[in-house]
Amino acid sequence: MAVRVWRDPAAADRLRRLVGAIAEDGGVVGVDGLIAASARAIAVEHDLSTYDAAYVAAARATEATLVSCDVRDLVSRGLAVAPSSLV
């Protein structure tokens, strides 16, 4: 999708490497009651889908930076940063 949307294979490859690095370092966050409650509150506050709100809640719970290509729902609202801001 990144290649098609961005029309920049080099940028898409950088994204692939970043995602691979996250997968290798165990960057998977399990959902517990606190994250679920936070996700619900974030979804209501920002009018987000449960899925998007869960990503935000997990990032906040782990004090991580959420990186997303979802400019409309996450990046534009300051809930995530675009991959291009990391390069």
pLDDT (tens digit per residue) in 28-71: 677 889 999 999 999 999 999 999 999 999 999 989 899 999 99
Look up residue 48 and give its amino acid: L
Distance CA 56, CA 64 (A): 9
pLDDT category of residue 22 using cuts at 50, 70 and 90: confident
The tokens of 66 are what?
């959420």
Distance CA 50, CA 44 (A): 9
> What pLDDT score was predicted for residue 57?
96
